[in-house]
Amino acid sequence: MRQTIATPISVALFLIGWALTPVFVRYMSGAYDPYTQAFIRYASASFVLLLYASRYHRTELIKAFFAWRTLLPMSLLVMGMQIAWTVAIYNTTATMAQLVTTLQAPLVILLSFAVFHEERKVIRSPGYIIGSLLCFVGVIAVFMRDDGDSVRFYIDFAMLLLMCVSIAWSIYAVWGRHTAKGLHPVAMFTVLSVYVSIGFIFTMCIFGNPETLWTAGIRMNVTAFVSGVVCIASAHCGFHYAQVRLGSSYCSSIQLGSPFITHLLAYTLWPDEALHWIQWTGGVMLVGGGLLVIRTRWKKGMQLDNGQGTAAMEKTGNVCK
């Protein structure tokens, strides 16, 4: 019963947390440079997670620290992904950042096909394939620009960074699920966040401006702390918990709803968050493809569960005979 409740809660944590992320990052862009903002957000997350994991998951936390050969390389991937993500948001809108990174959903599906045997039946189904194609077409539509005279395909530096983030994220999601099967999700990400925070000290000192930690003021530092706890600590732990139980591709598909939550919040703050008609079309295709993927995953999961149940009953019956 506890796990039944925990799974939807974990989904809500990462869905809401990551929908808020680009809004927080853009809101704080006037107070920090990208490298300092990345540091203070991750440092806040690691601080809270260390306190929590030390109290409730001490044994698992020690085990995770001993798994440094796996988690240290993963932390380097997270560092690069986080810096690219933050810099990209400084150069585009929160909504566009969220829409472009939905490309991660079909990429995770492809990687899951190669790594996890239990997901291959779902991924081979026509519904999953059609949903993924809709995602790809939707992303292309998001790249389109309507300048009044014509509609054209447009990619700038921020878009390139966001595509790199999508590729890195798909690797992180599949790698994270594989690792979380042997480590507790909270303990695993606690150690990851500590490594990433230490790494960001160097990038902040070399490329950023650490003085903004003082000049930003108390209100902005509190905002950064809340952002780190909600969008990093809670969201990542919730994601790793959920994807062990639901699958990497399924959880990444659920994230397709994030851009519209982001848009509703960001548009109330910044008028330039408005989308053109073709971008709205692409967004609808992305969500439609995601819903088709989720529906297919659900149906296949039910069939698998029913099949296992039938097999168990037949086995029991044979024993009784």
Which candidate, 151, 148, 154, places its Cα nearest to that of 96?
Answer: 154
Q: How confident is the model at residue 249 (pLDDT cuts 50, 70, 90)?
A: low
C-beta atoms surrounding 75 within 10 Å: 20
Q: 128-173: per-residue pLDDT in tens?
A: 778 778 877 887 787 777 666 666 777 778 888 988 998 898 888 8
Q: What is the pLDDT of residue 317?
A: 47
Total residue count of the chain as it appears in this document? 321
The answer on pLDDT for 87 being more than 90 is yes
Tell me which of 232 and 129 has the higher pLDDT. Answer: 232
Q: How confident is the model at residue 120 (pLDDT cuts 50, 70, 90)?
A: low
Residue 58: both structure tokens together: 């001490």
Q: What is the pLDDT of residue 245?
A: 82
Q: What is the pLDDT of residue 318?
A: 46
Q: What is the pLDDT of residue 17?
A: 94
Q: How confident is the model at residue 127 (pLDDT cuts 50, 70, 90)?
A: confident
**Cβ(159)–Cβ(143) below 8 Å:** yes
The answer on pLDDT for 212 being more than 90 is yes
Q: What is the pLDDT of residue 107?
A: 76
Q: What is the pLDDT of residue 170?
A: 84
Average pLDDT over residues 276-296: 75
Mean pLDDT of the chain: 83
Based on the structure, what is the number of domains in the chain?
A: 1
Tell me which of 251 and 83 has the higher pLDDT. Answer: 83
**Cβ(59)–Cβ(179) below 8 Å:** no
Q: How confident is the model at residue 72 (pLDDT cuts 50, 70, 90)?
A: very high
Q: How confident is the model at residue 222 (pLDDT cuts 50, 70, 90)?
A: very high
Average pLDDT over residues 10-20: 91
Look up the domain containing 14 and give its range: 2-320
What are phi and psi for residue 313, nearest 5 degrees?
Answer: -65, -40
Cα–Cα distance measured from residue 212 to residue 202, given in angstroms and rounded to the nearest whole number: 15
Q: How confident is the model at residue 247 (pLDDT cuts 50, 70, 90)?
A: confident
Residues 6+ apart with CB under 8 A from 264: none
Query: Lowest-pLDDT range, 29-38, 60-69, 165-174, 216-225?
Result: 165-174
Give the three-state DSSP class for 183: coil
Average pLDDT over residues 59-82: 95
